[in-house]
Amino acid sequence: MKLGAFSVSLPIKDLATSKTFYEKLGFESFGGTMKQNYLIMKNGDTLIGLFQGMFPNNILTFNPGWDSDAKNLDDFTDVRELQEKLKEKGIDFISETKENTKGPASFMITDPDGNTILVDQHR
């Protein structure tokens, strides 16, 4: 099961302040904009998302079909296949993707400690 690129999505209070802080740790803006109230920041292969006013808790995010540079992978497990396999294993879902579709889709689950996991396929 290939989950794709991994990042942690953080709800933050002030995007400019958080951007400056993570830049001091060596992160650089990789995606998003201040105007959109979110930034994806990168340090080597490590990705974090800074999201102002979009959700209440940290989210573990996986992007099937992408590597850590958001470049398309030739070989990946489609989000619908991942969802099916996880259902077979008894995982409960917060939200699901529609079956028998193609292209971008996502689903959300929680781990035993209540941490949200987003599997978000962009292609």
Tell me if 70 sits within 8 A of 80, measured CB to CB.
no
pTM as predicted: 0.88
Give the integer Cα–Cα distance in Å for 89 and 111: 13
Of 1, 121, 113, the C-alpha closest to 57 is 113
Six-digit token pair at 118? 């987003």
Report the domain count for the chain: 1
Mean pLDDT within 115-120: 96
Order of strands, edge to edge, in the sheet holding 116-121? 28-33, 38-43, 46-52, 5-12, 59-63, 116-121, 105-110, 93-95
- What are the tokens at 32? 């998003």
- Report the pLDDT value the prediction gives residue 68, as an integer from 0 to 100: 87
Tell me which residue range forms the domain holding 54: 5-121
**1: pLDDT confidence band, cut at 50, 70 and 90?**
confident
Q: Taking all residues of the chain, what is their mean pLDDT, rounded to a whole number?
A: 95
The pLDDT-based confidence of 96 (bands split at 50, 70, 90) is very high
DSSP assigned state of 78: -
pLDDT digits (tens, 9 = 90+) for 47-88: 999 999 999 999 999 999 998 888 999 999 999 999 999 999
One-letter amino acid at 51 equals F
pLDDT class for 106, splitting at 50, 70, 90? very high
Centroid of chain to Cα 89: 22
Share of the chain above pLDDT 70, in %: 100
For residue 85 the two structure tokens come to: 């396999």
Instruction: Kindly report the CATH number assigned to the domain that includes residue 112.
Output: 3.10.180.10
